[in-house]
Amino acid sequence: MADENRAGTIGIVGVGVMGGGMARNLLKAGRRLVAFDTDAGRLNDIVARGAIRASSAREVAEQAATLISMVETTAQSEAVIMGETGFLPALRQGDRVLSTATIDPNAVKRWHGVLAAKGAELLDAPVSGGAERADKGDLSSIVGGDAAALEDVRPILEAYSSRVFHVGGVGQGLAMKHVNNMMIQTTTAALAEAFVMGAKAGLSTQDMYDVLRVSTGASTALEMRAPRFLTGNFEPGGTVDITVKDQSLQTDFARSLGVPIFMANVSLQIYEMAKASGLGKRDGASIVTLYEKLAGVTLGPRED
């Protein structure tokens, strides 16, 4: 019975801003879920909603055959998947590991070979959509890895994703995620510059937003960031700290491929300045305040 329970159980490590939404939707879908997080408050919340508590990533893997790692960095992911207190020692033939964080594609390729030697399959399945869509189960899962393994776990992905894309072999899901993140993060920096230039010229922030959203300047970044420019609400969606991490990964990955990267390197420095200015835990849209100070204008109400 224990092995039967394990086969039908999903394990997740990392139930924070994104992983928490994913876990809640797995529970809503009636899945048996075992969870671990180093943040006791986050873990307690998921357990209160019906998850089984684990005391380590290894204990998660001892109880579940399909495993999700949703921590922040490559180093943290390596500890969860490959470490002595991680998944690896407890893995069995036929297990599936989903690495859903935005991390280094080359690292995931290395780990894949180690897990394959134990008969386990690693898929990189980063998600896109932000915290609000994670709560709604409306994420996009961008998957790299074996097609048959993907079909095995597709119902799990569909519990928290409304779209599942298979974009190639192991590491390709993360490559695609970096392309996506590069687009929105560099565009956010361009929007901040453009809006501050317009404000300095005497245009209202609302007018700029109204015109741009129905003109060739329209973008997802505009819809996500401009309302924050207007209201001054920089409570974290995706933080400056995370953007610095993401853009560092993008530029490192491009370098490993021999691809020259200009815009991402420049915007990385903008986010680095924002982090150094104390904005690390604020939403990425908060970089606009750096430009406002330099130009002597504001686009909306701001905290002192």
Annotated active-site positions, please? 177
Tell me the C-alpha distance between 244 and 250, whole Å.
Answer: 10
Residue 129, phi-psi category: left (phi > 0), alpha (psi -120 to 50), beta (remainder): left
Residue 67: closest CA among 130, 138, 14: 14
Beta strands in 80-221 (DSSP E): 96-99, 121-124, 127-128, 139-143, 161-166
Q: Would you give the DSSP letter of residue 304?
A: -
Tell me the C-alpha distance between 188 and 273, whole Å.
Answer: 15
Tell me the C-alpha distance between 80 and 101, whole Å.
Answer: 12
Tell me the C-alpha distance between 36 and 42, whole Å.
Answer: 9
Which helix (DSSP H) or strand (DSSP E) does residue 41 occupy? helix 40-48
Cα dist from 159 to 18, 29, 163, 179, 240, whole Å: 14, 6, 10, 25, 29
Q: Tell me the one-letter amino acid at 177.
A: K
CA 1 to chain centre: 35
